[in-house]
Amino acid sequence: MTERQIRNYETWYRKLRLKLLVVLEYVVKPRTKKRQKSSRALWILSSIIVIVVVLVVVGLSASQPREKEPAQKYFQILWSTFEDPSFPEFPDTSQLMMLGVSFNITAVGGDAHNVIVESLAMSEPQELGNMAKGEVKYVSMQFGNYYVTSYNEQMQGYPVKIRINSAEAAGEITFYIPF
């Protein structure tokens, strides 16, 4: 290529470049500072709203109480005995009066936390604390007055109702004391 051809090419290239810059400048207008500030503020505001919504959803899902399992499925009563029994002089001799009951309790449904056992015969509730799955704890409950119960032929024992509450399970359990 000659020197003249090179100069013509360079001028042609410069003119083309200038035309492209004019077209691009027309198509893509530079943003003003006011427009940049408003778009940045809008972006920050939308980010804050999204964060607040996420925190509210997480907070509400965590604050809803979990439904507890029935105590009869989660705990098992073993080796139950009554304390201070006496048979009242009623025409029906199948009744028993007792001042207390003792038994072993086992968490069979999993670990149990903050276990509280109380009798429906108004004795003081007993806090057993935490129990690992399969752990056995001895419970002895003294009633304020005699607890009267009738013999159940089908279960072959005297029924006693207790209430158990823990972080995982709650409810009443009826167990039978053999005689």
Residue 73 and residue 38 in one domain: no
List the beta strands (DSSP E) in 11-122: 69-70, 75-83, 95-107, 112-119
| CATH assignment of the domain containing 168 | 2.60.40
Window from 22-36, 73-87, 89-103 with minimum mean pLDDT: 22-36
Specify the higher pLDDT residue, 109 or 38: 109
163 token code pair: 């209430």
**Model pLDDT, residue 32:** 57
**Whether residues 55 and 79 fall in one domain:** no
For residue 169, pLDDT over 80 is answered with: yes
| Cβ(168)–Cβ(113) below 8 Å | yes
Question: How many domains is the chain built from?
Answer: 2
How many angstroms separate the CA atoms of 159 and 70, rounded? 19
Is 76 or 146 the better-scoring residue by pLDDT? Answer: 76
Here the tokens at position 77 are 């009563």
Same domain, 21 and 54: yes
- Are 30 and 57 part of one and the same domain? yes
* 111 and 39 housed in the same domain: no
Cβ contact 164:137 at 8 Å: no
β-partners of residue 161 are 174
Last residue of a domain, one of 63, 80, 98: 63
Min mean pLDDT across 9-13, 35-39, 74-78, 81-85 is at 35-39
C-beta separation of 102 from 143 below 8 A: no
39 compared with 77, residue with greater pLDDT: 77
**Do 129 and 78 lie in a common domain?**
yes
Average per-residue pLDDT in the chain?
82
171: containing domain: 69-177
Per the CB < 8 A criterion, the answer to whether 141 and 102 are in contact is: yes
78 and 131 co-located in one domain:
yes
Report, as an integer, the average pLDDT of 5-14.
77
CB 135 within 8 A of CB 83: no
Residue 93 has pLDDT above 70, yes or no: no
